[in-house]
Amino acid sequence: QQEAFDTLAERYGLDEEHSHLLSGVPYRVIEDFVRQNAFDLLVLGICHHQALDGFIGGTAECLMNRAPCSLMMVKTMPSPV
């Protein structure tokens, strides 16, 4: 995962100061990171999976009530076949 992360960060020109690879339970890790860095806004990419019962996805739904800042959720578009 680290190699793929580094490749992606390099592709988009992100330096080490602005790229973070975190591990753990996603919503908890994100919530802690947001709190530690005093974010005003958290932008989340969401995608609806019809096989799942959730409305927007587990991590996004957990963060809706837990995030200590405003949230912006961006719906991903399906890839053309």
Question: 27 pLDDT exceeds 60?
Answer: yes
Where do the structural domains in the chain lie, given as residue ranges?
A: 24-81
Fold of 24-81: Rossmann fold (3.40.50)
Cβ-proximal residues to 62 (8 Å cutoff; 6+ apart), any chain? 27
Rg of the chain (C-alpha set): 14
pTM of the model: 0.74
**Can you give the pLDDT at residue 80?**
72
**Can you give the pLDDT at residue 30?**
95
Comparing 53 with 6, the larger pLDDT belongs to 6
**Average pLDDT of the chain, as a whole number:** 87
Of all residues in the chain, what percent carry a pLDDT higher than 90? 59
**Can you give the pLDDT at residue 53?**
55
